[in-house]
Amino acid sequence: MTSVEPKSVKILTIDDEPGIRETFRDFLEDLDYEVIEGENGRHGLEIFKKELPDLVLLDLRMPEIDGLEVLAKLKEESPNTPIIIVSGTGVIGDAIRALNLGAWDYILKPVVDLGVLRHSVEKVLDRARLIQENLAYQENLEEQVSKRTAQLHQANAEINDLNKQLEARVAQRTIELTAANKELESFAYTVSHDLRAPLRAINNFTKIIIDEYTDKLDSEGQLYLQYLLEGSKEMNSLIDGLLTLSRSSRGEINSEDVDISKIVVDILKAKTTLEPTRNIIYTVMPDISGRCDSRLIKTMLENLIGNAWKYTRETANSHIDFGVKQENGQDIYFVKDNGAGFDMAYVDKLFKPFQRLHQVTEFEGTGIGLATVQRIIHRHGGKIWAESEVDKGATFYFTLATDS
């Protein structure tokens, strides 16, 4: 049964045979449709314009005006009104042409089974209903789009105002950052020149005392002097670390395609030359490259590999690996060792300046290296993280932005 309420539907039959019109009228009225009749093509057009029916049953072979001409005029008058062609068995070709002109269905005469007529009527009325609902939806959608467009225009105007305010704040912030950078440069200069001079004096005079006055000092006094030398050496390393950290935060990023594997190999070869007695195995995946600042990336890798070198010192059959893997289409670089490792419970301290997870008596260091590593990676738009287990080594992973 059709979902369209029959009493709300008006059907126009246009046929020059009274018997067919009567048969259709009686059948359709029994189904509670309202039926009006056109005795021929001309009369049918007049009735159509006056009554504006919801559905037309149209014969093709009629006097005065041919059914195809009537169809054309009906479609011109109301393109969305459904039309069912009722044609004789001898005019199948006309029926096909009628469908091409916009008829919705056709029924062959004589209509022996009126159930066929009922099915066709219900089918095209359902289709017409869906079209009307779609048109109403489109109209409502257009109205909503219009309202939304107006809202978007208003929102854009507000965003433009906010952007102007933001630009003013950015300009002010830029001035403040420029001043802060100048202060940082001044601090770096002070550290590298003003602080190093008295430190060198302390170191040199301590060496003189050790060299020339050892016989005048007891063992405890000599031990104190050694402490003083170690302290000045540690202070000098700390100054170097601070300067490196400062330099890693300043200056432009000069991105280029860099052979990262070669940098890693060069660093490991240099360390092997300095400590030829170290029995350490290292593997470097070849032809690993990335778009980055070669100077900064070298500083970063020197710190990561330096840590791996340092923390495998007490490990038998120590080894260091460098490579890359892919996850979700992104290159993830890694430096892996089988050294001392650390407790992951303290991983949040790992990249903070001056935070160390091992005692100085175990492994030397200032606690600045990994802070420098993180700063360099962040400046390249990447991320860095670590996985480790005590006495089972550590793996440091890092990424670089694809457009670095």
User: Residue 34 is encoded by which pair of tokens?
Assistant: 């309202």
Q: What is the mean pLDDT of residues 123-137?
A: 88
Residue 2 pLDDT: 47
Residue 4 pLDDT: 53
Query: What's the pLDDT band for 398 if we cut at 50, 70, 90?
Result: very high
Domain boundary among the residues 88, 112, 136 is at: 112
- Which residue range forms the structural domain that includes residue 323? 254-404
Q: What is the mean pLDDT of residues 61-70?
A: 88
pTM given for the model = 0.47
Cis peptide before 110 (omega within 30 of 0): yes
Measure the CA angle with vertex 283, ends 295 and 367; round to 5°: 50
Average pLDDT, the chain: 83
User: Residue 194 is encoded by which pair of tokens?
Assistant: 């003003």
**Separation in Å, CA 276 to CA 280, 322, 399:** 10, 20, 32
Q: How far apart are CA 205 and CA 225, in angstroms?
A: 10
Please report whether residue 245 resides in a domain: no
User: Residue 238 is encoded by which pair of tokens?
Assistant: 């700390």
Domain boundary among the residues 65, 87, 112 is at: 112
Query: What's the pLDDT band for 183 if we cut at 50, 70, 90?
Result: low
Residue 196 pLDDT: 67
Whose structure tokens read 């120590």?
318
Q: How far apart are CA 333 and CA 284, in angstroms?
A: 11
Residue 87 pLDDT: 81
pLDDT greater than 80 at residue 82: yes
90-94, 115-119, 289-293, 324-328: least confident range: 90-94
Residue 361 pLDDT: 47
- Greater model confidence, 269 or 217: 269
Please report whether residue 228 resides in a domain: no
- What CATH number does the domain containing 37 carry? 3.40.50.2300
Q: In sequence order, which residues have a C-beta less than 8 Å from that of residue 133 and are 6 or more positions away?
A: none
Q: How far apart are CA 96 and CA 85, in angstroms?
A: 10
100-114, 174-188, 361-375, 384-398: least confident range: 174-188
pLDDT greater than 60 at residue 394: yes
SS3 352: coil
β-bridge pairing 330-337 and 318-327: antiparallel
User: Residue 156 is encoded by which pair of tokens?
Assistant: 């854009």
Please report whether residue 12 resides in a domain: yes
Percent over 70 (pLDDT), the chain: 82
**Which range, 181-195, 225-239, 359-373, is most confident?**
225-239
Give pLDDT tens digits for 344-363.
887 887 777 655 555 554 55
- Greater model confidence, 90 or 138: 138
Q: What is the mean pLDDT of residues 50-78?
A: 91
SS3 358: coil
pLDDT greater than 80 at residue 244: no
Residue type, 380: H
Residue 383 pLDDT: 92
Query: What's the pLDDT band for 305 if we cut at 50, 70, 90?
Result: very high
User: Residue 331 is encoded by which pair of tokens?
Assistant: 């290159």
Q: What is the mean pLDDT of residues 234-260?
A: 70
Please report whether residue 86 resides in a domain: yes
Helix axes 294-311 and 260-274, enclosed angle (nearest 10): 40
Query: What's the pLDDT band for 193 if we cut at 50, 70, 90?
Result: low
Q: What is the mean pLDDT of residues 79-93?
A: 81
Q: What is the CA radius of gyration of the chain?
A: 45
Domain boundary among the residues 65, 80, 112 is at: 112
Please report whether residue 369 resides in a domain: yes
60-74, 76-90, 153-167, 196-210: least confident range: 196-210
Query: What's the pLDDT band for 180 if we cut at 50, 70, 90?
Result: low
Q: How far apart are CA 302 and CA 277, in angstroms?
A: 20
pLDDT greater than 70 at residue 253: yes
Please report whether residue 264 resides in a domain: yes
Q: What is the mean pLDDT of residues 131-154?
A: 85
Residue 237 pLDDT: 63
The Cβ of residue 111 has, within 10 Å, a number of other Cβ atoms equal to 16
Please report whether residue 224 resides in a domain: no
Residue type, 293: D
Please report whether residue 61 resides in a domain: yes
- What CATH number does the domain containing 381 carry? 3.30.565.10
Q: What is the mean pLDDT of residues 229-248?
A: 65
Give pLDDT tens digits for 157-169.
888 888 888 888 8
Count how many domains the chain has: 2
The alpha carbon of 88 is separated from its chain's Cα centroid by a whole number of angstroms, namely 63
Q: How far apart are CA 56 and CA 71, in angstroms?
A: 10
pLDDT greater than 70 at residue 226: yes
Query: What's the pLDDT band for 138 if we cut at 50, 70, 90?
Result: confident
Q: How far apart are CA 260 and CA 399, in angstroms?
A: 13
